[in-house]
């Protein structure tokens, strides 16, 4: 059963060359039986696409579902990027997931082929390749820009953690002072900073002088404290520094790597400010790019879906390639009723697929027997051979291809 979280692209043979009559008829049926509103569906017109050879159509029919899945993921990733940038703010997201500056609903239900971008006089293969190339390019650009932004964001978060974390991880530049250290030019002595778990502070004060030889007595003072750690300084002889650090580690006292610099506070402040500015600039650039690329990628995907709908229509209904198509936004509460209405309205097409080139070729292989339609008549013949999977995928008397919705 098709998803109620996607648009349905429906295609059937055109009757009497009058798409307006067919749209009026199916529209009235949807309004009365399918529980749809007048703004839940719109006519979809195929441009004069070139059908090409049967071999090329079969090849495209096999390839398009794979491209469909891959490129739908490209659009989904752009949406995920927008969600992340906007902190899952649905109202803000709705202002950015626009196609040509209009809501996705308006674009899909009033869809028209972009002849200036995708020339209908080219082969279907050329059109599909152009769409695939565009979507691949968008995906590559998005990956590169997102990676650049994530690096900048990570650097900013790291600096912010140093500013706001507990005393075991945060920057100590604005916690300690010059007078908390012995002269850094001392040949023999060095002052270390040690983050001690808060509940071990008394143990530190009673043991630090005996952790190793050559610790300056009474050289440790508590400089700061937070909810988890207390920060102490201690002065030792340089020759026992490494041994003292190891003993601290064994006792779960954390020696912080820090060297006093008169300019360190200003330098770290500037680093944080620069990182914040860079992250904000990249965020703005990525947001603008994601908005633009969503519009471009969604349009490309829609054209790919329409080509797929056209190809399946030719393979099922044959030539001339005159088809009537509509785009429908299903009501999740009335999906079964909608599908029943469409099956009933187009029920006369059951078995019509026997006129398409794929079925005709299969009939020749089966000695002229026609495969039954969606109703599954008594003359139905299993299609062993290369087209079996293609034919068995048809469950409705009409062609139905799904296009992703954007939930906001």
In tens, the pLDDT along 97-118 reads: 999 999 999 999 999 999 999 9
Full strand arrangement of the beta sheet holding 221-225: 221-225, 229-237, 189-197, 254-256
Report the pLDDT value the prediction gives residue 357, as an integer from 0 to 100: 53
**Model confidence over 40-88: pLDDT tens digits?**
999 999 999 999 999 999 999 999 999 999 999 999 999 999 999 999 9
| 106 Cβ neighbours under 8 A, 6+ residues apart | none
pLDDT in tens, 134-153: 999 999 999 999 999 999 99
Work out the mean pLDDT of the chain and round it to a whole number.
Answer: 88
pLDDT of 33 > 80? The answer is: no
Contact 7, 329 (CB under 8 A): yes
* Range of lowest pLDDT (267-281, 363-377, 390-404): 363-377
In this predicted structure, the answer to whether residue 123 has a pLDDT above a threshold of 80 is yes
Please give the average per-residue pLDDT across 352-369, as a whole number: 49
Q: Give the pLDDT mean for 173-197.
A: 91
pLDDT at 366 over 70: no
Over 60: is that where the pLDDT of 361 sits?
no
pLDDT band at 171; cut points 50, 70, 90: confident
Burial label for 168, CB within 10 Å (0-12, 13-18, 19+), is middle
Region 312-330: what's the mean pLDDT? 94
pLDDT in tens, 195-246: 999 999 999 999 999 999 999 999 999 999 999 999 999 999 999 999 999 9
Domains of the chain: 6-125+299-404 (no CATH), 178-259 (3.30.70.100)
Whether 341 has a pLDDT exceeding 90, the answer reads yes
If one compares 69 and 33, the residue with the highest pLDDT of the two is 69
Q: What is the pLDDT at residue 269?
A: 82
Provide the β-strand partners of residue 201: none
Which DSSP string corresponds to 131-176?
HHHHHHHHHHHHHHHHHHHHHHHHHHHHHHHHHHS-TTTS--TTT-
Chain segment 376-387, per-residue pLDDT in tens: 333 333 433 344
**pLDDT level of residue 355 (50, 70, 90 thresholds):** low
Alpha helix stretches (DSSP H) within 235-334:
241-250, 264-317
The pLDDT score that the predictor gives to residue 162 is 78
Of 155 and 393, which is predicted with more confidence?
Answer: 155
Per-residue model confidence (pLDDT) at position 226:
93
Confidence category of residue 370, pLDDT binned at 50, 70, 90:
very low
Q: How far apart are CA 339 and CA 326, in angstroms?
A: 14
> Would the pTM count as exceeding 0.85?
no
Nearest CA-CA partner of 294 in 107, 118, 82: 82
Res 259 pLDDT > 70:
yes
Between 104 and 350, the more confident residue is 104
Task: Give the pLDDT mean for 284-311.
Answer: 97
What DSSP designation does 404 have? Answer: E
């Amino acid at each position: 059963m098709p998803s109620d979280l996607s648009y349905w692209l429906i295609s059937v043979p055109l009757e009497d060359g009058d798409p307006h009559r067919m749209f009026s008829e199916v529209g009235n049926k949807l309004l009365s039986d399918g529980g749809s509103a007048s703004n839940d569906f719109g006519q979809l017109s195929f441009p004069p696409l070139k059908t090409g050879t049967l071999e090329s159509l079969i090849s495209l029919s096999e390839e398009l579902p794979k491209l469909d899945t891959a490129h739908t993921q490209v659009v989904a990733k752009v949406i995920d990027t927008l969600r992340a940038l906007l902190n899952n703010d649905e109202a803000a997201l709705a202002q950015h997931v626009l196609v040509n500056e209009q809501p996705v609903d308006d674009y899909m239900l009033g869809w028209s082929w972009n002849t200036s971008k995708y020339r209908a006089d080219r082969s279907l293969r050329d059109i599909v390749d152009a769409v695939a190339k565009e979507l691949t390019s968008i995906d590559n650009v998005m990956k590169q820009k997102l990676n650049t932004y994530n690096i900048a964001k990570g650097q900013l978060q790291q600096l912010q953690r140093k500013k706001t974390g507990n005393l075991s991880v945060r920057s100590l530049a604005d916690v300690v002072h010059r007078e908390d250290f012995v002269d850094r030019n001392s040949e023999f002595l060095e002052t270390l900073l040690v983050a001690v778990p808060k509940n071990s502070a008394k143990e530190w004060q009673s043991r630090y002088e005996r952790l190793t030889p050559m610790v300056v007595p009474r050289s440790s003072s508590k400089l700061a404290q937070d909810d988890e750690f207390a920060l102490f300084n201690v002065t030792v002889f340089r020759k026992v520094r490494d041994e003292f650090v190891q003993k601290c580690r064994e006792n779960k006292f954390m020696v912080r790597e820090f060297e006093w610099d008169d300019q360190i506070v200003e330098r770290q402040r500037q680093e944080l400010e620069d990182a914040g500015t860079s992250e904000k600039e990249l965020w703005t650039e990525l947001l603008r790019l994601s908005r633009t690329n969503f519009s471009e990628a969604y349009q490309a995907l829609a054209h790919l879906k329409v080509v797929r709908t056209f190809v399946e229509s030719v393979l099922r209904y044959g030539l001339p390639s005159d088809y009537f198509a509509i785009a429908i936004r299903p009501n999740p509460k009335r999906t079964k009723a909608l599908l029943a209405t469409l099956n009933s309205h187009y029920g006369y097409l059951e078995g019509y697929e026997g006129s398409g080139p794929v079925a005709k070729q299969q009939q020749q292989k089966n000695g002229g027997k026609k495969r039954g339609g969606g109703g599954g008549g008594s003359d139905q013949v299993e299609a062993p051979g290369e087209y079996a999977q293609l034919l068995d995928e048809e469950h409705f008397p009409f062609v139905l291809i799904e296009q992703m919705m954007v939930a906001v």
